[in-house]
Structure 1
Amino acid sequence: MADAATTVNPQITDSLTQVNTKVVGETPAMAMGNLLMSTSHALSNSAHNAVATQQQGQITMHAATVQGINSLMGVGSAVIGRVSGSVIEK
């Protein structure tokens, strides 16, 4: 006969077995949830970076367009100034 101090109630062992089974059963679902969360976070960061890059590209394009128009307008003024100067000299 087993000693009373070393005997474990069968309800306790059943409870521990059920808890261990529950933890082992939930592990794949938790791992998949963590994978999906990290993947969605990475994809949202990627989309945010793409939008920021497009905005910076648009700003650069606008600046280049303004510089080009300023150059064209400056050339026109210089030509008009030379023509007027030559007309006045004659």
Structure 2
Amino acid sequence: MPVNDAVTDSVTQVNTTVLGETPAMAQGNLFISTSHAMGTAAHNSTSANQQGTLVLQTATIQGINSLFATGSAVLSRGAELILEASAG
């Protein structure tokens, strides 16, 4: 059964268009994937920086609390020794 030449030409043009657009579509998909990966990496970097800062602040606070607690313990022990000495 013969096919009309107009139909054959139309199918050929569609196939040519699809083949011609394929490299551009592939490049566009690559750019989108790369930009998504870069955005995720930047987000992860910011999050890691924030978590590191939080750990640093927590360690600083714990160190200061330890210093204050040590001072209180020394003062308490000193007062205890004075009271013991004056009572004995």
TM-score between the two structures when normalised by the length of structure 1: 0.84
* Per-residue deviation, 1:85: 2.9
Q: Provide the residue aligned with 1:74 in structure 2.
A: 69
Q: Provide the residue aligned with 2:49 in structure 1.
A: 54
Alignment: residue pair count: 85
| Cα distance between partner residues in 2 of 1:21 and 1:47 | 40
* Per-residue deviation, 1:82: 2.7
2:66 partner amino acid: S
After superposition, where does 1:24-39 map in structure 2 within 5 Å? 24-39=19-34
Provide the alpha-carbon RMSD of the alignment.
Answer: 1.3
Bigger helix share: 2
Unaligned runs of at least 5 residues, structure 1: 1-5
Over 4 Å off, 4+ runs? none
| Cα distance between partner residues in 2 of 1:85 and 1:11 | 108
* Per-residue deviation, 1:78: 1.6
Q: Provide the residue aligned with 1:42 in structure 2.
A: 37
Can you list the C-alpha shifts for 1:27-75, whole angstroms capped at 9, x where unaligned?
0010001101111111111111111111111111111111100110011
1:64 partner amino acid: A
Unaligned runs of at least 5 residues, structure 2: none
TM-score between the two structures when normalised by the length of structure 2: 0.86
Q: Provide the residue aligned with 2:8 in structure 1.
A: 13
| Cα distance between partner residues in 1 of 2:9 and 2:80 | 106
